[in-house]
Amino acid sequence: MNRKQLVVGNWKMNGSLSDNEALLVGLSAADDLSGLDVSVCVPYLYLAQTREHLAAGNISWGGQNVSEHDAGAYTGEISGSMLADFEVSFGLVGHSERRSFYAETNELVGIKARKLLSVGITPIVCVGETLKQREAEETFGIISAQLEAVIEQIGLENLGRLVLAYEPVWAIGTGLTASPEQAQEVHEYLREQVALLDEAAASSLRILYGGSVKPDNAEKLFRQADVDGGLIGGASLNLIDFLTICRLAI
């Protein structure tokens, strides 16, 4: 796959209407990103604002989470159909913070991916290991279990409808970054695992790298054969840094 995808995934519980305005206006005005697929995944409250600014252009938008329930007495939850009302293209599931802070299991991540697919939204499924797990040489086993749980929920027929994001937990918000070689090793492994099940899906599958991507390391990461773009963290809160990363991916 030659065309890269860059996803803003780290507004997290950040942002305000005024701060978002500057970022969205700047992104909308960038006229040199046609060789790239850019998506902005924002907190629920800002979906309307984001759609308003991006609807006329080529940048898509998405949510940062979704409920495992379709409807019902689940106060505070947001269903897939609610996201679809805002013409959301992508939804993050399985982010390491959801797994660690909210005890989301591999099975639950798979269910959430299935809920997104059921309303026509592409899940961006995050997988990754902790530093302790990497040091114990458990990386491949951990991400295999995470991937298998998703496939069990969505079925082999939907493999080609996913985006995967490898985000080593030890490289999120720490300033540490997987080396290009470390990232490639895991991305290659993920593609090989998918190929065992569906070669066509593996060849078209986008696998993004997420973990302290910055302007000074993005180019080398994106040069790796199986790194199809990035799930951009803190750098996405700075318009100049994010646009620089985007241009390095083209």
| Residues tagged active-site | 95, 167
Give the other-Cβ count within 10 Å of 215's Cβ.
16
Give the other-Cβ count within 10 Å of 131's Cβ.
13
Query: HEC string of the chain?
Result: CCCEEEEECCCCCCCCHHHHHHHHHHHHHCCCCCCEEEEEEECHHHHHHHHHHHCCCCCEEEECCCCCCCCCCCCCCCCHHHHHHCCCCEEEECCHHHHHHCCCCHHHHHHHHHHHHHCCCEEEEEECCCHHHHHCCCHHHHHHHHHHHHHHHHCHHHHHHCEEEECCHHHCCCCCCCCHHHHHHHHHHHHHHHHCCCHHHHHHCEEEECCCCCCCCHHHHHCCCCCCEEEECHHHHCHHHHHHHHHHHC
